[in-house]
């Protein structure tokens, strides 16, 4: 291996490739397709707006009858790289930062493979394979996933340093990277990273016997410190999780959603074998971004070459040290693949039933994080076996000829030979394109083998140039695979268009899904949203409404407050009673399945006085009472507890005026003619405090999901304030942990082995 080969060259090639693929970001456009528009940008834009007003963004009053904002894990408001959006144009910053994380991922595996002593050329191949893997690129719009996954190689890099050097500073690096993962906002990806880190630690300890219990203790201490750093985010998220629809896990069907179908294995060889939604050619069901696993054709071949090379050299005492790790990384790749199969294998269902955490997340296919990472490491090892020999040249020539022949046949012969019944069938042409592209890259890989300069020959001085050419070919291959997977729109997509509408509307689940997934965001064609971005922006789908500060009972969040989820489930399941139920939620307007807004309640105040309360022994009884055709929410509220059931009263109970609805508080002016209940159709949630003329009053959960308090006769100022109990402890723990981290970086103490 030439010592002159620039080890950092791959990082430069990766950066150039990212700039070329995502060049639209540098002409003022931004990512918008799917979750950037429906979740991440609205949350962050509102949060930063609240911060500029001098308040903490604790609560989102516009969605779901009100919902936690900071506690929403995927809002990732404490993640440091997200803070750039507070100072710079937010939509552009979020888009560029997402791409930056691809570079961080590639840089991380470059650093990690260096710790494994893989030579520079191999490190470059690993860098491109993981930094541009379609597993990450296709998911780029899911910002928290990418943010968390990018730190996986850095976590392993830091674990390796702790195990081999044992310095407190190494522990600090590990705590920092784990802390960044915890704050990045995607628990599933972070958990998979933790699991891989634990397996790697165990393997390295057993395989090389280099770790003492003290150094293992450093890893545990780093994890605890990282949890402390993330306390300000983790404590509110834990509270939300305990109150959410996922508090007791997810059901089987949801957990198995997005399992990896065995036929999808072709995606490892050809990224667009089933088409590409970027150009509208995707021909199968499901989401392209969930099934994407491509690491590049040459890196994939190199990963297999690592296995064959290990088999050939397993008894050679002079083999390089990194060869010893080949079985481990192949085991990781295979375990990730088997788990990704989900319902298509008996393994994951068994784990779902018997092992904790497997019933917490959906989409088993995301276990492919293990697969693509391990294959990327193996690719760096495998290219060291790339060389020439008599039989290797013979078979390579045959392979080049075969691949070239397949490409020519696919491009020129097959279209002419198709029977009339197949002409015009999109699936046929997708298959032809996949065969042709695979043939071209296969022939190119073979040609590179034949062109490889041999050591000791007169062409040896060209060896480094050949390696550069290989890296460029890999970059072009992966750049082509990434093209079109992240459509953009003008930054004005996210501009505010209206403000001041205080009425609350609702999308039924059926209507929202129809407009979202069929009208604007079908998984098989990203161009539809790009061509109709203005209509998409104006649709007021949840949570686009947050951009315009309009109110929806809907909340398009991964974690929903359990009582809220229960209430909207009752609404959608009972269309005959929908109008009355939505009146109880302060909803005046309903979206139909074409996205049109219809008035269903002329009088649906957000707050009102009611004299009669009916108490029930359980929630099923409350639901039954709310489904009664005679129930009028303005005259009677349904409560959980003992106390009888007062008859509804249709007399006017007094006047209620909503004075203000600020960031984390609601103020109401009440003039009660008698002792009454004040009903507020905002979500019941821990941390809310009610003050009647400055005196605290208990808040009751009414009508399954909302808030009610008792108010005496007369004029009163009622104020609801959100004062979560976790706020000060969380900030204190995070602050102390950050200070401890900074102190550790100043120390150079090494933990010695006995």
pLDDT in tens, 133-155: 999 999 999 999 999 999 999 99
pLDDT band at 388 (very low <50, low <70, confident <90, very high): low
pLDDT reported for residue 217: 92
Mean pLDDT of 495-506: 83
Is 70 exceeded by the pLDDT of residue 743? yes
Is 80 exceeded by the pLDDT of residue 669? yes
pLDDT band at 412 (very low <50, low <70, confident <90, very high): low
Reading the block at residue 241, the tokens are 């999780």
pLDDT reported for residue 405: 67
Longest distance between any two alpha carbons in the chain, whole Å: 102
Is 90 exceeded by the pLDDT of residue 452? no
CA dihedral 741, 743, 746, 750 (to 10 degrees): -80
pLDDT reported for residue 383: 87
pLDDT band at 6 (very low <50, low <70, confident <90, very high): confident
pLDDT reported for residue 449: 76
Is 60 exceeded by the pLDDT of residue 414? no
pLDDT reported for residue 1: 41
pLDDT band at 415 (very low <50, low <70, confident <90, very high): low
Three-state secondary-structure class, residue 126: helix
Contacting residues for 724 by C-beta, under 8 A, at least 6 apart: 58, 71, 236, 239, 686, 687
Mean pLDDT of 550-563: 94
pLDDT reported for residue 497: 86
Q: What phi and psi, each to the nearest 5 degrees, are found at residue 77?
A: -75, -20
CA distance 625 to 541: 31
Q: Where are the domains of the chain?
A: 607-723
Give tens-digit pLDDT for 50-65.
Answer: 999 999 999 999 999 9
Reading the block at residue 223, the tokens are 């994890």
pLDDT reported for residue 423: 43
pLDDT reported for residue 754: 46
Mean pLDDT of 255-278: 93
CA distances 644 to 248, 616, 637, 641, Å, are: 31, 8, 12, 9
pLDDT reported for residue 422: 44
Is 80 exceeded by the pLDDT of residue 712? yes
pTM for the complete prediction? 0.94
pLDDT reported for residue 421: 45
pLDDT reported for residue 753: 55
The answer to whether the peptide bond before residue 611 is cis (omega within 30 degrees of 0) is: no
Q: What phi and psi, each to the nearest 5 degrees, are found at residue 138?
A: -70, -25
pLDDT reported for residue 429: 74
pLDDT reported for residue 2: 45
Give tens-digit pLDDT for 289-320.
Answer: 999 999 999 999 999 999 988 988 887 777 88
pLDDT reported for residue 52: 94
Is-contact 686 239, C-beta < 8 A?
Answer: yes
Is-contact 505 552, C-beta < 8 A?
Answer: yes
Q: What phi and psi, each to the nearest 5 degrees, are found at residue 474?
A: -60, -45
Is-contact 377 329, C-beta < 8 A?
Answer: yes
Give tens-digit pLDDT for 589-639.
Answer: 999 988 899 999 888 899 999 999 999 999 999 999 999 999 999 999 999
Is-contact 309 361, C-beta < 8 A?
Answer: no
Contacting residues for 628 by C-beta, under 8 A, at least 6 apart: none
Is 50 exceeded by the pLDDT of residue 326? yes
Q: What phi and psi, each to the nearest 5 degrees, are found at residue 161?
A: -65, -40
pLDDT reported for residue 395: 60
pLDDT band at 441 (very low <50, low <70, confident <90, very high): confident
Chain-centre distance for alpha carbon 557? 12
CA distance 501 to 688: 24
> Is 389 or 424 the better-scoring residue by pLDDT?
389
pLDDT reported for residue 400: 72
Opening angle at CA 271, ends 267 and 277, nearest 5? 115
CA dihedral 252, 253, 259, 261 (to 10 degrees): 120
Mean pLDDT of 252-271: 93
pLDDT reported for residue 229: 97
Q: In b/e form, how buried is each residue of 182-209, taking b as 16+ CB within 10 angstroms? A: bbbbbbbbbebbbebbeebbebbbeeee
Is-contact 138 21, C-beta < 8 A?
Answer: no
CA distance 676 to 682: 18
Give tens-digit pLDDT for 348-380.
Answer: 999 999 998 899 999 999 999 999 999 999 999
Is 90 exceeded by the pLDDT of residue 733? yes
CA distance 681 to 699: 12
- Kindly give the pairing relationship between strand 29-31 and strand 488-490: antiparallel
CA distance 2 to 502: 69
Average pLDDT for the chain: 91
Is-contact 102 592, C-beta < 8 A?
Answer: no
Mean pLDDT of 722-730: 96
């Amino acid at each position: 291996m030439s010592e002159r080969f620039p080890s950092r060259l791959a990082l430069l090639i990766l950066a150039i490739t990212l700039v070329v693929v995502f060049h639209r970001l540098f002409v003022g456009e931004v990512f918008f397709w799917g979750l950037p528009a429906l979740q991440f940008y609205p949350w962050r834009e509102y949060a930063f707006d609240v911060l500029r007003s001098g308040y903490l963004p604790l609560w989102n009053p516009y969605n779901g009858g009100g919902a936690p904002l900071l506690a929403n894990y995927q809002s990732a408001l404490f993640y440091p790289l997200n803070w750039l959006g507070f100072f710079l144009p937010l939509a552009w910053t979020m888009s560029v930062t997402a791409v930056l994380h691809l570079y961080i991922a590639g840089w991380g595996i470059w650093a990690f493979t260096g710790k494994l002593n893989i030579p520079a050329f191999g490190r470059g191949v690993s860098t491109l394979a993981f930094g541009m893997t379609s597993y990450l690129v296709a998911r780029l719009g899911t910002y928290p996933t990418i943010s968390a996954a990018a730190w996986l190689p850095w976590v392993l890099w830091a674990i390796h340093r702790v195990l081999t050097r044992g310095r407190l500073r190494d522990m600090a690096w590990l705590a920092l990277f784990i802390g960044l993962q915890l704050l990045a906002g995607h628990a599933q990806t972070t958990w998979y990273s933790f699991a891989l880190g634990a397996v790697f630690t165990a393997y390295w300890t057993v395989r090389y016997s280099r770790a003492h219990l003290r150094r293992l203790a450093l890893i545990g201490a780093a994890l605890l410190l990282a949890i402390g750093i993330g306390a300000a985010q983790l404590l509110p998220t834990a509270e939300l999780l305990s109150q959410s629809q996922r508090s007791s896990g997810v059901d089987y069907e949801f957990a198995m959603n997005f399992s990896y179908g065995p036929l999808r294995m072709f995606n490892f060889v050809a990224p667009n074998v089933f088409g590409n939604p970027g150009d509208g050619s995707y021909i199968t069901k499901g989401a392209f971004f969930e099934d994407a696993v491509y690491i590049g054709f040459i890196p994939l071949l190199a990963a297999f070459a690592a296995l064959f090379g290990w088999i050939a050299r397993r008894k050679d005492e002079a083999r390089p040290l990194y060869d010893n790790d080949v079985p481990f990384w192949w085991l990781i790749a295979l375990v990730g693949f088997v788990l990704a199969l989900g319902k298509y294998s008996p393994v994951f269902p068994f784990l779902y039933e018997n092992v904790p955490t497997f019933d917490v997340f959906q989409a088993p296919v995301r276990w492919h994080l293990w697969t693509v990472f391990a294959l990327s490491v193996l690719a760096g090892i495998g290219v060291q076996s790339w060389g020439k020999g008599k039989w290797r040249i013979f078979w390579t020539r045959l392979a080049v000829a075969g691949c070239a022949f397949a490409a020519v046949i696919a491009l020129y012969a097959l279209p002419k030979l198709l029977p009339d019944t197949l002409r015009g069938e999109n699936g046929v042409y997708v298959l032809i394109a996949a065969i042709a592209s695979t043939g071209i890259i296969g022939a190119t890989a073979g040609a590179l083998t034949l062109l490889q300069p041999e050591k000791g020959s007169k062409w040896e001085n060209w060896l480094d140039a050949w390696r550069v050419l290989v890296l460029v070919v890999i970059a072009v291959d992966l750049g082509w695979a990434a093209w079109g997977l992240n459509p953009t729109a003008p930054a004005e997509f996210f501009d505010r268009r209206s403000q001041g509408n205080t009425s609350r509307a609702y999308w039924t689940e059926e209507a929202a899904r129809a407009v979202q997934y069929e009208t604007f965001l079908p998984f098989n064609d990203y161009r539809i949203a790009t061509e109709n971005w203005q209509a998409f922006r104006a649709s007021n789908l949840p949570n686009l409404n947050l951009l315009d500060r309009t109110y929806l009972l809907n909340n398009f969040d991964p974690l929903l407050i359990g009582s809220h989820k229960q209430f909207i489930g009752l609404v959608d399941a009972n269309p005959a009673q929908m109008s009355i139920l939505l009146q109880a939620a302060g909803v005046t307007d309903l979206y139909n399945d074409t996205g049109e807004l219809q008035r269903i309640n002329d009088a649906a105040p957000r707050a009102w006085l009611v004299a009669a309360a009916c108490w029930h022994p359980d929630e099923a009884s409350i639901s039954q009472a709310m489904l009664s055709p005679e129930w009028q929410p303005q005259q009677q509220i349904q409560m959980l507890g003992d106390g009888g059931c007062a008859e509804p009263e249709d007399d006017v109970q007094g006047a209620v005026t909503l004075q203000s609805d600020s960031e984390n508080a609601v103020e109401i002016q009440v003039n009660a003619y008698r002792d009454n209940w004040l009903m507020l159709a905002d979500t019941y949630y821990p941390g809310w405090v009610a003050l009647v003329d400055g005196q605290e009053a208990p808040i009751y959960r009414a009508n399954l999901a909302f808030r009610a308090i008792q108010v005496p006769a007369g004029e009163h100022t009622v104020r609801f304030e959100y004062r979560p109990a976790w706020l000060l402890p969380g900030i204190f723990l995070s602050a102390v942990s950050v200070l401890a981290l900074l102190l550790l970086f100043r120390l150079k103490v090494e933990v010695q082995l006995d």
